[in-house]
C-alpha cells in the first residue's frame, strides 16, 4: 500500500503524522511545494498575520522537516503536482515526473483570491506564506502608509498588527462591516466600531476602483472617488481552493473537492481530501461545507488517517476559529449563518462579550471576545447539540 499526500502544509503534514501514529505501515509520500520554503514544507500559518508579521525577531515555525519525516519513514518530495491520472493512479509533477499511489490524499489547501485589476505587483501583496509575511513586514517600515483591501479575519488582523506597529493603516471593505462572513453583521459592526475607535482608517461599503501608480503602487482609488495614498497594499480577498491541478481528473470539483462525510472524494474510494480544499457533507450541519480554519486542517487529517487505517470515521466536529486583534482574543465556535438569530448573553458589545446565534430552535454558534471563561458553558452546550431556549436559559 502506497499513500501519497499532496500538499505539505498543516493538513498534509498532520495526515502523514497521524497515519504513522495509528500504526500504518504503508509507504507514505508527502509532496510539498510551499513557495519560499527550502524543502517545500509550509510554516504554521496563524502567527503569519500576528506575531511573525509584527516582529522580525519571531521565527516562522516549519510544520516539519525532512529529518523528522525521515524518522517517521515518510518520503518528502519537493515538487508541485500539476495533474492527476486516476486511471493509472499517478500524480504528475511539474517537470514531467509522476508518482504512483494506491491511496491519494489531496491536501493542496487554498490560495489567495485575486480579482482583475487587483493582482500582486510591486507594492501589492497577498498573505499566505511565511515569505509573504516577511516581505510585507519588510515593505512596511516606519512611516509607511498601508492600505488593506478586504475586511475578513486576515484583513482585520493585518490591519491591527500593522496599526500596532505605528503604521498608518487604511482598510477598504465593500460590505458595511468587518468580518461579516465570519461573525454576522451585528458582531462585525461592533468590532468595526472598535477598530475605528483605535485609529484604523476604515472605509466600509467602499469598493476599489483602481490601483494608482505605474510599476509601483502609489495609492488606491475608491469607487466613491476618494484616493488613499499607499506605499504598500495588502490584499485580503479570501482564498480559493487549490484544485487547478485536478481539473482533468474527473473528480467532482465545486469550490473544493466534493467529499462524503468521511472525506472520501465522491465517486472515488481511493482519493481523500483534507484541510481547506475539502468540501464535505457535514453530518451535524446537514449541508456541504468547506472550512478554511487551522483547527479544521488538524481534524480532517485525523479523520482521513483513521479511515485509511481501518477505523471508519466521519468528520462531525464543531468548527473553531480564533483571531487576535483589538488587544483581545476573538473565538468562534460553530458558524454564524446569515439570517440566524443573534443574542448577546454575557457582557456587552462595547466590552468583552459572549454572543450566541441559532435558528430552527437550535444553538448554532457561540462567539466570545475577550471572554473565554464566560464562553466555556456555551461551547459545551453547542457540543451537546443544545436547543436555542436551553442556551438562552443558561445566560
Closest CB to another protein among residues 193, 320:
320
Phi, psi values for residue 35, rounded to 5°: -60, 135
The minimum distance between CB 252 and another protein, in angstroms, equals 29
The minimum distance between CB 23 and another protein, in angstroms, equals 12
The minimum distance between CB 164 and another protein, in angstroms, equals 18
Closest CB to another protein among residues 329, 337:
329
The minimum distance between CB 300 and another protein, in angstroms, equals 12
The minimum distance between CB 278 and another protein, in angstroms, equals 17
Residue 49's contacts (CB-CB under 8 Å, 6 or more residues apart) are 127, 133, 154, 157, 158, 161
Closest CB to another protein among residues 335, 379:
379
Closest CB to another protein among residues 261, 320:
320
**Cα–Cα dist 150/49, whole Å:** 14
**Cα–Cα dist 99/92, whole Å:** 7
**Contact (Cβ atoms closer than 8 angstroms) between residue 226 and residue 201:** no
Closest CB to another protein among residues 14, 203:
14
Where on the chain is the footprint of another protein (CB under 8 A)?
A: 14, 17-18, 21, 46, 294-295, 298-299, 302, 317-318, 320, 322, 329, 331, 372-373, 376, 379, 383
Closest CB to another protein among residues 105, 169:
105
**Cα–Cα dist 377/389, whole Å:** 14
The minimum distance between CB 372 and another protein, in angstroms, equals 4
Amino acid at each position: 500500500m502506497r499513500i501519497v499526500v499532496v500538499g505539505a502544509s498543516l493538513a498534509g503534514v498532520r495526515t502523514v503524522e497521524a497515519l504513522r501514529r495509528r500504526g500504518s505501515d504503508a509507504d507514505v509520500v508527502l509532496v510539498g511545494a510551499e513557495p519560499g520554503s527550502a524543502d517545500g514544507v509550509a510554516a504554521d500559518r496563524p502567527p503569519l498575520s500576528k506575531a511573525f508579521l509584527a516582529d522580525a525577531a519571531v521565527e516562522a515555525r516549519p510544520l516539519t522537516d525532512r529529518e523528522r519525516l525521515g524518522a517517521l519513514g515518510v518520503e518528502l518530495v519537493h515538487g508541485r503536482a500539476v495533474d492527476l491520472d486516476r486511471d493509472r493512479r499517478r500524480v504528475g509533477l511539474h517537470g514531467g515526473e509522476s508518482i504512483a499511489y494506491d491511496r491519494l490524499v489531496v491536501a493542496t489547501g487554498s490560495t489567495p483570491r485575486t480579482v482583475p485589476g487587483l493582482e500582486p505587483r510591486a507594492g501589492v501583496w497577498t498573505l499566505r506564506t511565511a515569505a509573504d509575511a516577511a516581505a510585507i513586514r519588510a515593505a512596511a517600515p516606519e512611516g509607511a502608509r498601508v492600505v488593506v483591501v478586504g475586511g475578513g479575519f486576515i484583513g482585520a488582523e493585518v490591519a491591527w498588527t500593522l496599526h500596532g506597529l505605528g503604521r498608518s493603516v487604511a482598510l477598504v471593505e465593500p460590505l458595511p462591516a468587518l468580518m461579516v462572513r465570519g461573525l454576522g453583521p451585528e458582531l462585525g459592526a461592533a468590532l468595526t466600531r472598535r477598530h475605528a475607535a483605535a485609529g484604523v482608517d476604515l472605509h466600509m461599503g467602499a469598493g476599489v476602483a483602481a490601483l494608482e501608480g505605474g510599476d509601483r503602487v502609489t495609492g488606491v482609488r475608491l469607487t466613491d472617488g476618494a484616493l488613499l495614498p499607499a506605499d504598500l497594499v495588502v490584499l485580503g480577498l479570501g482564498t480559493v481552493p487549490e484544485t487547478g491541478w485536478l481539473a482533468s481528473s474527473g473528480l467532482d470539483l465545486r469550490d473544493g473537492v466534493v467529499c462524503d462525510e468521511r472525506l472520501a472524494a465522491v465517486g472515488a474510494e481511493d482519493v481523500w481530501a483534507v484541510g481547506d480544499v475539502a468540501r464535505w457533507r457535514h453530518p451535524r450541519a446537514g449541508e456541504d461545507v468547506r472550512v478554511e480554519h487551522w483547527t479544521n486542517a488538524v481534524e480532517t487529517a485525523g479523520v482521513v488517517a483513521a479511515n485509511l487505517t481501518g477505523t471508519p470515521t466521519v468528520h462531525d466536529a464543531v468548527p473553531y476559529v480564533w483571531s487576535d486583534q483589538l488587544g483581545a482574543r476573538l473565538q468562534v465556535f460553530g458558524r454564524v449563518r446569515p439570517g440566524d438569530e443573534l443574542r448577546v448573553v454575557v457582557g456587552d458589545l462595547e466590552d468583552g462579550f459572549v454572543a450566541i446565534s441559532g435558528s430552527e430552535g437550535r444553538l448554532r454558534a457561540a462567539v466570545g471576545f475577550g471572554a473565554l471563561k464566560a464562553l466555556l458553558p456555551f461551547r459545551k452546550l453547542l457540543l451537546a447539540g443544545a436547543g436555542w431556549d436551553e442556551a438562552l436559559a443558561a445566560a
